[in-house]
């Protein structure tokens, strides 16, 4: 059986996401790890079921990106979550993030699903709270780097977004004070969110300059959300969502040229 370009791209994403997923499972403990794996199976089933339903009704192929969307959703979760909320959020992300637009995502479906879950079920465990008191986790952050480097070299990942996010975190962190700006890299889901949501093909702006500004915006927003909110949420999902929504505006702003009389 010959693999298509979409199949190879999906395989590349799965391999890139495998190390951080393994680190998550290792840190979970047996029961939580089993729940995360079971939720991954549910996420895959839901994404493929919705894609198959719309593909059959509209006479089009399933399209790429489904395995990566399911893995990223599970990867971003801090721990066990409410099952009902997860199923509803995954369905919302699949339908309104991808299938309603002909199988082409306007934003990462996993990002839309996570945002829906956090806003609709604030006590469902979908986002870490008190993030500034959480343990610094360099292993999880480091585990995201090899796969992200491969994706950047092969093309699917927008590296200027990641670079801009580092600049944004450094600038906002130095302006707002404690904790040290570099500590944000190892807290919560920062690395996974920046590399696999903000810098994904569905979420990134087009053009190097726009992508760099996009990353600066997302990185700065993460720091502001973490430090300005008394609950100290992780802030990564909300920052990536806002950055993705503003990406077209950044593109238009940089492409604008004044008319000459």
Asked if pLDDT for residue 261 goes beyond 70, the answer is no
**Contact call for residues 113 and 240 (beta carbons, < 8 A):** no
Q: Please give the Cα distance from 213 to 160 (Å, whole number).
A: 9
Residues 83-104: what's their mean pLDDT?
88
Contact 14, 68 (CB under 8 A): yes
Q: Are 152 and 203 in contact (CB under 8 A)?
A: no
Is the pLDDT score of 259 beyond 70? no
Question: Does 1 score more than 60 pLDDT?
Answer: no
pLDDT higher for 28 or 5? 28
151-157, Cβ contacts within 8 angstroms, sequence gap of 24 or more: 151/12, 151/13, 151/16, 154/12, 156/9, 156/12, 156/13, 156/200, 156/201, 157/195, 157/199, 157/200, 157/201
List, in order, residues 6 or more apart from 12 with CB less than 8 Å away.
Answer: 150, 151, 154, 156
Give the per-residue pLDDT at 3: 66
pLDDT exceeds 90 at position 15: yes
- On whether the CB atoms of residues 197 and 189 are closer than 8 A, the answer is no
- Over range 225-238, report the average pLDDT: 85
Closest CA to 19 of 111, 131, 150: 150
Residue 167: asked if its preceding bond is cis (omega within 30°), the reply is: no
Question: What token pair was written down for 51?
Answer: 């894609």
pTM (two decimals): 0.90
Specify the pLDDT at position 195: 93
Mean pLDDT of 240-260: 79
With a cut of 80, say whether residue 104 has pLDDT above it. no
List of residues 6+ apart from 256 with CB closer than 8 A: none
Render 151-163 in DSSP notation, one character per residue: HHHHSSS-HHHHH
Q: What is the dihedral of CA 138, 161, 221, 177, to 10 degrees?
A: 50
% the chain with pLDDT above 90: 49
So what's the pLDDT on residue 7?
A: 76
pLDDT of residue 120: 92
What's the pLDDT score for residue 260? 56
Q: pLDDT tens, 154-207?
A: 877 888 999 999 999 999 988 887 778 888 888 888 899 999 999 988 877 788
**Dist CA 184 CA 126 (whole Å):** 19
228 pLDDT band, cuts 50/70/90, is: confident
pLDDT at 147: 92
Is the predicted pLDDT of residue 2 greater than 70, yes or no?
A: no
Tell me the mean pLDDT in the region 209-215.
Answer: 90
Residues 73 and 117: beta-carbon distance below 8 Å:
no
Q: What integer pLDDT is reported at residue 214 of this predicted model?
A: 92
8 A C-beta contact, residue 218 and residue 172: no
Q: Assess whether pLDDT exceeds 70 at residue 136.
A: yes
Instruction: Kindly tell me if the per-residue pLDDT of 102 is higher than 90.
Output: no
Q: What is the pLDDT of residue 111?
A: 94
**Mean pLDDT lowest among 48-57, 180-189, 210-219:** 180-189
Q: How many CA atoms lie within 13 A of 216 on its CB side?
A: 9
Residue 106: its pLDDT value, please? Answer: 80
């Amino acid at each position: 059986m010959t693999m298509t370009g979409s199949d190879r791209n999906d395989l590349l994403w799965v391999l890139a996401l495998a190390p951080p997923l393994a680190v998550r499972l290792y840190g979970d403990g047996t029961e939580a790890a089993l729940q995360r794996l079971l939720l991954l199976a549910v996420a895959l089933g839901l994404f493929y079921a919705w894609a198959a339903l719309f593909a059959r009704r509209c006479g089009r192929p399933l399209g790429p990106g489904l395995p990566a969307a399911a893995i990223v959703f599970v990867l971003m979760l801090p721990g066990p979550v409410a099952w009902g909320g997860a199923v509803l959020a995954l369905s919302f992300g699949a339908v309104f993030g991808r299938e309603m637009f002909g199988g082409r995502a306007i934003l990462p479906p996993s990002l839309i699903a996570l945002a829906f879950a956090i806003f609709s079920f604030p006590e469902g465990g979908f986002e870490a709270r008190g993030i500034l008191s959480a343990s610094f986790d360099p292993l999880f952050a480091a585990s995201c780097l090899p796969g992200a480097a491969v994706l950047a070299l092969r093309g699917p990942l927008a590296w200027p977004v990641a670079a801009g996010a580092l600049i944004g975190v450094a600038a906002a962190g130095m302006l707002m004070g404690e904790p040290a700006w570099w500590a944000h890299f190892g807290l919560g889901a920062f690395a996974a969110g920046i590399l696999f949501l903000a810098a994904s093909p569905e979420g990134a702006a087009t053009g190097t300059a726009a992508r760099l500004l996009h990353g600066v915006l997302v990185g700065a927003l993460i720091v502001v959300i973490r430090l300005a909110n008394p609950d100290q949420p992780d802030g990564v999902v909300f920052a990536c969502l806002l950055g993705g929504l503003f990406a077209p505006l950044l593109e238009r702003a940089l492409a604008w040229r004044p008319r000459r009389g």
